[in-house]
């Protein structure tokens, strides 16, 4: 029986079954096979995608290769025993969709693996000057610490730096964003890598490239065009399943109330800390100090950042910890809940606020950070019902 699916080894959780079913409505399998099985497995006429470590190893067992697959030397799509490379065409589609120009641009491509080869092929086809960057000295590459010596206008990250679970890693420290016109990071998990968070230029994330290369493969399998509307619908569906809604803002602004009204299964970071420590937040501040609390807050931020499709309510000071925010932003859409200080009701269990004057002072210290991290701002100077209606409208 002909197979329709992804071959590789080992295969962990993959978004490919969701994406290909979305476009073609067919069951799609993850086919974890050993290298010794390739020859017999590929003797059948079937529709397959190929991932590491087999993108080059499948080639001897195919009848033919498309021109781009032959030039790149790697295959990620097989149809009628002909090998194609839709990493290349998917990347080209990303550039086109966003209006990113490569012609006559100096582009740094980090990494030298299969994805780097496919992307470099397209960039050269588009008229770019490609400079490969590697951790180790190789022919036609420069090292990371040599980047400052070269001129560049665009960057593509083809390394796993920043990939889950190592979400605090990034090539950003090597880059001068003031030079850059655009950036592509092919890491698809998390949705927003640290590199994308820090980029000061237009950018594309890896999930979009994953979807667009899958669409190109499905066009080969089915013989039908997949529209831009279908691609955008697939991206929205994937983001909806993976994205968390993360509420930030001052204590007593109504984060928890809004969050629980939005979703009763809210994840409360402060409640997790209280449960783990066996102390209230105010007692934790008194007995172990704010520095200890912020360390615990970072641990919990890392923990909850691994969740998907959750509503998360944070403590008011989490925005003071840059590393914690990197984790929360990775798969999170951040909603800044705003409420006038005069409308806030002081509570005895708040360790930093003895008076309204304390609230004003802390707000002035933090408001720029809230604004920097917020994807959405929510006015909570009205009824909960009105705030929820407004939030749902903003999240469409």
> Order of strands across the sheet with 4-8?
29-32, 4-8, 47-50, 77-79, 82-84, 64-65
Of the residues 15, 39, 55, 260, which is catalytic?
55
Q: Does the annotation mark 55 as catalytic?
A: yes
253 is in an annotated binding site: yes
C-alpha span between 195 and 150 (Å, rounded): 20
102 is in an annotated binding site: no
316 is in an annotated binding site: yes
DSSP designation for 148:
G
160 Cβ neighbours under 8 A, 6+ residues apart: 166, 187
Instruction: Give the closest residue to 211 by CA, choosing from 241, 238, 183.
Output: 238
256 is in an annotated binding site: yes
279-284: long-range contacts (C-beta < 8 A, 24 or more apart)? 280/349, 281/315, 281/349, 281/351, 282/349, 282/350, 282/351
252 is in an annotated binding site: yes
Phi, psi of 247 (to 5 degrees): -95, 125
382 is in an annotated binding site: yes
255 is in an annotated binding site: yes
Cα distances (angstroms) measured from residue 332 to each of 134, 192, 327: 30, 8, 8
350 is in an annotated binding site: yes
294 is in an annotated binding site: yes
Structure tokens at 195: 């590199």
Residue ranges for the known binding site for ATP are: 252-257, 350, 382
Residue ranges for the known binding site for Mg(2+) are: 256
- Catalytic machinery residues: 55
Residue ranges for the known binding site for substrate are: 270, 294, 316, 366
Residue ranges for the known binding site are: 252-257, 270, 294, 316, 350, 366, 382
């Amino acid at each position: 029986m002909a197979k329709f699916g992804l071959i590789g080894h080992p295969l962990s959780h993959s978004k490919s079954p969701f994406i290909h079913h979305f476009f073609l409505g067919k069951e799609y399998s993850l086919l974890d096979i050993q290298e010794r099985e390739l020859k017999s497995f590929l003797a059948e006429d079937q529709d397959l995608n190929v991932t590491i470590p087999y993108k080059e190893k499948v080639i001897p067992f195919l009848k033919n290769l498309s021109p781009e697959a032959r030039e790149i030397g790697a295959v990620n799509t097989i149809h009628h025993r002909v090998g194609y490379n839709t990493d290349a065409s998917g990347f080209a589609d990303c550039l086109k969709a966003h209006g990113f120009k490569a012609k006559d641009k100096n582009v740094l491509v980090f990494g030298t693996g299969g994805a780097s080869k496919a992307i470099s092929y397209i960039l050269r086809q588009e008229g770019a000057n490609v400079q490969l960057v590697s951790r180790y000295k190789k022919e036609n590459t420069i090292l990371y610490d040599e980047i400052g010596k070269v001129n560049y206008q665009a960057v593509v990250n083809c390394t796993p730096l920043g990939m889950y679970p190592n979400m605090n890693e990034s090539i950003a420290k090597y880059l001068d964003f003031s030079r850059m016109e655009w950036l592509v990071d092919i890491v698809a998990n998390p949705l927003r890598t640290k590199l994308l968070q820090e980029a000061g230029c237009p950018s594309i994330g890896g999930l979009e490239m994953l979807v667009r290369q899958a669409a190109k493969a499905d066009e080969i399998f089915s013989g039908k065009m997949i529209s831009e509307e279908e691609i955008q619908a697939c991206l929205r569906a994937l983001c909806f399943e993976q994205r968390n809604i993360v509420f930030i803002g001052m204590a007593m602004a109504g984060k928890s109330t809004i969050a629980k009204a939005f979703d009763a299964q809210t994840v409360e970071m402060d409640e997790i800390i209280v449960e783990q420590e066996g102390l209230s937040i105010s007692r934790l501040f008194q007995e172990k100090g704010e520095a200890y609390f912020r360390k615990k807050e970072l641990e919990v931020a890392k923990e909850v950042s691994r969740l998907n499709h959750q509503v998360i309510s944070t403590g008011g000071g989490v925005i003071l910890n840059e590393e914690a925010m990197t984790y929360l932003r990775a798969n999170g859409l951040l909603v800044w809940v705003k409420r006038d200080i005069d409308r806030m009701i002081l509570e005895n269990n708040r360790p930093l606020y003895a008076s309204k004057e304390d609230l004003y002072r802390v707000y002035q210290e933090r408001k720029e950070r809230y604004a920097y991290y917020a994807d959405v701002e929510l006015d909570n100077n009205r009824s909960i019902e009105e705030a929820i209606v407004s939030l749902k409208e903003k999240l469409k």
